[in-house]
Structure formats: structure tokens, C-alpha cells
Amino acid sequence: AQRVTQPEKLLSVFKGAPVELKCNYSYSGSPELFWYVQYSRQRLQLLLRHISRESIKGFTADLNKGETSFHLKKPFAQEEDSAMYYCALTRGESGYSTLTFGKGTMLLVSP
């Protein structure tokens, strides 16, 4: 069975500092990896997915199959980045799309 691990419950940084939210996964096949974000009093929303290789709101994430990691990074944190971040995966099989989530990391960016 697949599993997603986010080792940090809380990450607290100052505005302008670099951010790295860690995500490790276990799955024997070729998964698709995602980062979802939930801002205060808002619904869960997709931030980015590895196949898109995009930078969203200054965040990037690279899939490292050797280390089975998909860490989320941003060079300069902003106060509006404060939110709950969830790493998730789906099995990269045709027609399969259900998500397995990690427990989440709360990011707090202080002024």
C-alpha cells in the first residue's frame, strides 16, 4: 500500500526566509505527486503537481525517485503563505485517481 509521510507538523519561519516542506512517499510503482494547500477558512485546493513542473505562487517541487521525496520549496516566504500544506499521491495507473494524503504541515510565516 502507498504511504505519504510529512515529518513536520509545524514549520515556523520569518518573512523572506527560505521554506522547505518535506514529503516522502512509499509506493512500488510510478506515482503521481501533488501538493494541496488549505488557507484559513478556505477549502482544500491544488497547489501543484509534479507532472506539470510549474512554479505556483513561487513554490516548486521536484520529484526525486531515488530518495522517494517530493519536497515543496520557496526561496522567500510571504505572510500570505501561512496555511496547512498536504502532500498527496495517486498511483500512476490509467483510470486510477484516488489520493493518499500525508498528515499535513502547518506553515506559519511571521512578519
Partner 1 sequence: DTGVSQDPRHKITKRGQNVTFRCDPISEHNRLYWYRQTLGQGPEFLTYFQNEAQLEKSRLLSDRFSAERPKGSFSTLEIQRTEQGDSAMYLCASSLAGAGDTQYFGPGTRLTVL
Chain residues that interact with partner 1, rule: CB under 8 A: 4, 9, 43-46, 49, 86, 88, 95, 97-104
**CB-nearer residue toward partner 1: 28 or 97:** 97
> 1-28 in b/e burial notation, b at 16+ Cβ within 10 A?
eeebebebeebebeeeeebebbbbbebe
**CB-nearer residue toward partner 1: 11 or 44:** 44
Q: How far is the CB of 1 from partner 1 (least distance, A)?
A: 10
Q: How far is the CB of 74 from partner 1 (least distance, A)?
A: 21
Q: How far is the CB of 25 from partner 1 (least distance, A)?
A: 13
Contacts of residue 111, Cβ cutoff 8 Å, sequence gap at least 6: 14, 15, 79
Long-range contacts of 91-94 (CB under 8 A, 24+ apart): 91/2, 91/27, 91/29, 91/31, 91/32, 92/29, 92/30, 92/31, 92/32, 93/29
Q: How far is the CB of 57 from partner 1 (least distance, A)?
A: 16
**CB-nearer residue toward partner 1: 4 or 83:** 4
**CB-nearer residue toward partner 1: 28 or 42:** 42
